[in-house]
C-alpha cells in the first residue's frame, strides 16, 4: 500500500476503478486507455489520469494501462487480501436489506455480527449471521476485532450508539441515519442519507441540471 497522502476524492474513486477493471478483465480486456475507461466508469479521463498519477507510473504513453496490473495494484491499495469484519447495528427493513447484500462477491467485506434490541431477534441466526443483544455490543466488537459498523437504527438512538461504538474501538461508521454524529477525528464517518440523495436527484430532474 502507498504511504503517501492521497486526496480524499481520489480515495473514494478507487473502489469504482477496481470493480470495473475486474469486469473488464472478466470480459477478456487486457489493456485500456484513460479515455476508454472514462467512458465506462463515467469519470472524465483527466481525473482518471490525475488519480492514477498519485501512485506513480501505472501506464505507458501510447499503450495505456495493463488491466491485470491495475487490478493487482488497486487490490493491494484496497487491502483486498484481508477480509474485513463489519457489525450491523439495527435489523429493520434497511438492516435486513444490507444483511442480505452479498458484500463478499464484490469486495473483501463480510457482516460478522448483528446487534438488536428486539427480543424475538436476539440469539437467532439471520442470513447466516448471529444476532446479539445491544448489551453485548462492546464485548463482541472487541472479541471479534470489528473495526467498522453500519448504523441503521432510529435517529434518536444514533448518537448514543455512536458514542458506544467509539468507546469500543470502532474506527469507521457507515451512517444510514439522518443524524450527523458527534465523534472524535479518530473515527471515520460516512453518511448515507437515502432520502437526501433521492430529493437531490429529483431537484436535478426538475431543474434540468446535468451531471
Which domains does the chain possess?
Answer: 8-77 (1.10.10.10), 84-196 (3.40.50.720)
64 is in an annotated binding site: no
- Is residue 10 within 8 Å of 54, Cβ to Cβ? yes
What's the predicted TM-score (pTM) here? 0.67
Helix axes of 45-53 and 8-26: crossing angle, nearest 10 degrees: 110
- 172-206 in b/e form (b: 16+ CB < 10 A) is bbbbbbebebebeeebeeeeeeeeeeeeeeeeeee
The average pLDDT across 56-80 equals 79
Three-state secondary structure call for residue 143: helix
pLDDT grade for 81, boundaries at 50, 70 and 90: low
pLDDT digits (tens, 9 = 90+) for 86-116: 999 999 999 999 988 866 555 677 888 999 9
Query: In which element (H, E) is residue 15 found?
Result: helix 8-26
Q: How many CA atoms lie within 13 A of 97 on its CB side?
A: 6
**In the predicted model, is pLDDT for residue 1 greater than 60?**
no
91 is in an annotated binding site: yes
pLDDT of residue 211: 59
In this prediction, what percent of the chain has a pLDDT beyond 70?
A: 89
The average pLDDT across 67-73 equals 89
92 is in an annotated binding site: yes
95 is in an annotated binding site: yes
- Is residue 6 within 8 Å of 54, Cβ to Cβ? yes
In this prediction, what percent of the chain has a pLDDT beyond 90?
A: 45
- Between 120 and 204, residue with greater pLDDT: 120
93 is in an annotated binding site: yes
128 is in an annotated binding site: no
pLDDT of residue 117: 95
pLDDT digits (tens, 9 = 90+) for 112-148: 899 999 999 999 999 888 999 999 999 999 888 899 9
pLDDT of residue 91: 94
User: Could you tell me which of 155, 188, 160 has the C-alpha nearest to residue 174?
Assistant: 188
Amino acid at each position: 500500500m502507498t504511504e503517501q497522502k492521497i486526496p480524499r476524492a481520489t480515495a473514494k474513486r478507487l473502489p469504482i476503478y477496481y470493480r470495473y477493471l475486474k469486469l473488464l478483465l472478466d470480459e477478456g480486456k487486457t489493456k485500456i486507455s484513460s479515455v476508454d475507461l472514462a467512458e465506462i466508469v463515467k469519470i472524465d479521463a483527466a481525473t482518471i489520469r490525475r488519480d492514477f498519477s498519485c501512485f506513480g507510473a501505472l501506464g505507458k504513453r501510447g499503450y495505456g494501462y495493463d488491466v491485470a496490473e491495475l487490478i493487482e495494484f488497486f487490490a493491494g491499495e484496497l487491502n483486498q487480501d484481508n477480509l474485513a469484519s463489519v457489525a450491523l447495528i439495527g435489523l429493520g427493513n434497511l438492516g435486513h436489506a444490507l444483511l442480505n447484500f452479498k458484500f463478499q462477491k464484490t469486495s473483501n467485506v463480510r457482516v460478522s455480527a448483528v446487534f438488536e434490541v428486539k427480543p424475538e431477534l436476539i440469539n437467532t441466526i439471520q442470513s447466516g449471521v448471529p444476532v446479539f443483544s445491544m448489551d453485548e455490543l462492546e464485548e463482541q466488537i472487541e472479541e471479534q476485532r470489528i473495526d467498522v459498523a453500519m448504523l441503521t437504527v432510529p435517529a434518536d438512538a444514533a448518537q448514543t450508539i455512536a458514542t458506544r461504538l467509539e468507546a469500543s474501538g470502532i474506527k469507521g461508521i457507515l451512517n444510514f441515519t439522518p443524524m450527523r454524529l458527534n465523534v472524535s477525528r479518530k473515527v471515520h464517518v460516512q453518511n448515507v442519507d437515502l432520502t437526501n440523495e433521492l430529493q437531490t436527484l429529483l431537484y436535478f430532474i426538475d431543474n434540468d441540471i446535468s451531471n
